[in-house]
């Protein structure tokens, strides 16, 4: 990969600056900001979905700026995200810059705001309130951030930054009026008019968020990106995009396909080679939600489908190739989350007598057995691959945390203990790792898991340890409700969201 990037850098520097206004990836154009700036360049690598940008210029500071900018125009609120790094461990100037920028115009003295990492590690939120005004700055307490996010809500701009693997550190500027339509994009500046510096940007996402505050009852209508994430590196790849809601990808045991549902309740298989979905035949059961599970041997699919006259979500099983589903639970709500490795039992979250608890039931049908009885929500039960534990999430400690117990419900013990709200633990097929979804405490109450929030995908050794953030995602409900590890334990599949109605 490093050789590919170096080759691309030499290639893009050979381009004439006159070709710089052509579209680039998700952006409309790129070019140098400022007068008589040493020509910069940019390219997009489709194979890795990376942007490589080289820019020169005296600085982004005082009353005017000089840098290279890759941009598009946007209206309304948005969330900008990337992982950014300089090419080369040491540059000429310690205050060379890479980051996101929002500008009122392409004039060098335009009002703007940016989230920037400097060559010496300084990370800050910089802004110029009006054309030609002096640039102001809010310095982050965090240095050497490589995860950069900038969100606009009206005239408020929020910086969220992190060293990859750690939670965000946040700062904000309010009452910054840049107008309804603005330029947004990635930039590189060298802090030296005679020098070109190069930055590499990966996992670049421009998200148009939900209009309002989502809650547990919010109807899921935003568009969806089906993404694959490499667990060892955190590298993300968008493999499929639709302007409506698809949810909860399961990775099939053949390693070649996924299963997901859409917001109409239909099930689909998704071929990873052709990257095309095919509707799965589930007979008359066509109101399926995002609580569906594959058997460990890969032959069967468990469904949760709403049947109003039976009290809500009812559990069914169907061959993974499709067919007529068999009803398992007689009443609802019953939300399926796990299948035992020996194929004999299903575990689910059921509401009975006003309480949500974890139950198990024979996969062939039969009497359900209550496994938890603590007051408050117990949800998301899933077997470990060795069958020794059922992992679940519980609000019993005051925040939503991951717990585990033996398959008969005994030995219940807490696994995570922090100030995030943690849901849906999924154990890797090799039994070594656990991935789960974390909501921010300032955004979500412990007992709910709404869509359209800032969430983390976090990785933790099954043996214990400190969770590591491997995905900074706009999503939540429907992102990773059910097991989504690849069979080789190297990747996970998940859904991120964005409003695509204006496209």
pLDDT digits (tens, 9 = 90+) for 466-501: 999 999 999 999 999 999 999 999 999 999 999 999
The four Cα atoms 323, 328, 331, 335 give a dihedral, to 10 degrees, of -80
> Tell me, what's the pLDDT at 92?
87
What per-residue string of b and e applies to 293-324 under the rule 16 or more CB within 10 Å gives b?
bbbbeeebbbbbbbbeebbbbbbbbbebebee
**CB of 411 closer than 8 Å to CB of 405:** yes
For range 251-275, the mean pLDDT: 98
Mean pLDDT, all residues of the chain: 95
Q: Is-same-fold flag (2-207; 223-498)?
A: no
CATH of range 223-498; options 2.30.30.30, 2.120.10.30, 3.40.50.720, 1.25.40.10 = 2.120.10.30
For range 160-176, the mean pLDDT: 98
Is residue 6 pLDDT above 50, yes or no?
A: no
Is residue 157 pLDDT above 50, yes or no?
A: yes
Report domain extents, the chain. 2-207, 223-498
For range 427-456, the mean pLDDT: 97
Give me the phi and psi of 249, to 5 degrees please.
Answer: -70, 130
pLDDT tens sequence across 74-100: 999 999 999 999 998 678 899 999 999
For range 174-195, the mean pLDDT: 97
Percent of the chain residues topping a pLDDT of 70: 95
Is residue 8 pLDDT above 50, yes or no?
A: no
Is residue 214 pLDDT above 50, yes or no?
A: yes
CATH of range 2-207; options 1.10.3720.10, 3.40.50.620, 3.40.50.720, 2.60.120.200 = 2.60.120.200
For range 367-377, the mean pLDDT: 97
> Tell me, what's the pLDDT at 503?
55
d(CA 30, CA 52): 12
pLDDT tens sequence across 185-210: 999 999 999 999 999 999 999 999 99
Give, as one character, the DSSP assignment of residue 212: S
For range 140-159, the mean pLDDT: 98
d(CA 277, CA 253): 17
> Tell me, what's the pLDDT at 91?
83
Tell me the pLDDT band of 20, cut-offs 50, 70 and 90: low
> Tell me, what's the pLDDT at 215?
94
For range 169-178, the mean pLDDT: 98
Is residue 13 pLDDT above 60, yes or no?
A: no
Element (H, E) at 467: none
More confidently predicted of 309 and 503: 309
* Count of helix runs (H) and strand runs (E) in the chain: 1, 39
Is residue 3 pLDDT above 60, yes or no?
A: no
Tell me the pLDDT band of 18, cut-offs 50, 70 and 90: very low
> Tell me, what's the pLDDT at 99?
98
Tell me the pLDDT band of 446, cut-offs 50, 70 and 90: very high
């Amino acid at each position: 990969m490093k050789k590919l990037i170096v080759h691309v850098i030499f290639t893009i520097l050979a381009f004439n600056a006159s070709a710089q206004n052509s579209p680039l990836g998700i952006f409309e154009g790129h070019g140098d900001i400022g007068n008589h700036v040493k020509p910069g360049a940019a390219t997009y690598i489709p194979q890795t979905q990376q942007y490589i940008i080289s820019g020169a210029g005296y600085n982004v500071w005082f009353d005017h700026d000089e840098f290279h900018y890759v941009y598009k125009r946007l209206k309304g609120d948005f969330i900008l995200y990337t992982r950014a790094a300089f090419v080369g461990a040491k540059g000429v100037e310690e205050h060379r810059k890479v980051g996101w920028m929002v500008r009122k115009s392409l004039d060098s003295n335009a009002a703007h705001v940016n989230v920037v990492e400097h060559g010496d590690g300084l990370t800050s939120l910089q802004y110029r309130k009006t054309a030609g005004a002096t640039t102001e700055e809010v310095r982050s307490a965090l240095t050497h951030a490589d995860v950069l996010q900038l969100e606009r809500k009206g005239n408020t701009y929020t910086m969220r930054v992190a060293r990859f693997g750690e939670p965000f550190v946040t700062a904000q500027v309010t009452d910054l009026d840049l107008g309804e339509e603005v330029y947004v994009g990635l930039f590189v500046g060298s802090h030296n008019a005679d020098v070109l510096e190069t930055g590499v940007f990966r996992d670049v996402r421009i998200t148009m968020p939900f209009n309002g505050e989502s809650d547990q009852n919010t109807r899921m209508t935003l568009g969806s990106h089906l993404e694959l994430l490499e667990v060892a590196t955190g590298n993300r790849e968008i493999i499929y995009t639709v302007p409506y809601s698809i949810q909860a990808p399961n990775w099939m045991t053949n390693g070649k396909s996924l299963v997901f549902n859409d917001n109409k309740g239909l099930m689909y298989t998704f071929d990873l080679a052709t990257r095309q979905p095919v509707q799965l035949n589930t007979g008359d059961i066509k109101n399926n939600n995002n609580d569906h599970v594959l058997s460990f041997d890969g032959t069967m699919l468990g469904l949760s489908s709403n049947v109003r006259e039976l009290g809500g979500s009812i559990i069914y099983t169907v061959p993974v190739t499709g067919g007529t589903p068999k009803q398992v639970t007689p009443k609802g709500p019953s939300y399926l989350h796990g299948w035992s490795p020996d194929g004999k039992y299903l575990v689910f979250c059921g509401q009975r007598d006003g309480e949500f608890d974890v139950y198990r039931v024979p996969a062939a049908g039969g009497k359900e057995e209550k496994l938890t009885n603590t007051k408050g929500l117990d949800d998301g039960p899933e077997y470990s691959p060795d069958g020794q534990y059922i992992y679940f999430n519980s609000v019993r400690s005051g925040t939503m945390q991951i717990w585990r117990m033996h398959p008969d419900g005994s030995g219940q013990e807490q696994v995570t203990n922090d100030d995030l709200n943690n849901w849906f633990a999924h154990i890797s097929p090799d039994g070594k790792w656990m991935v789960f979804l974390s909501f921010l405490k300032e955004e979500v109450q412990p007992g709910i898991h709404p869509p359209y929030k800032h969430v983390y995908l976090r990785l933790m050794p099954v043996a214990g340890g400190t969770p590591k953030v491997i995905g900074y995602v706009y999503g939540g409900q429907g992102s990773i409700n059910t097991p989504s590890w690849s069979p080789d334990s190297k990747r996970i599949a998940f859904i991120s969201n964005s409003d695509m109605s204006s496209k």
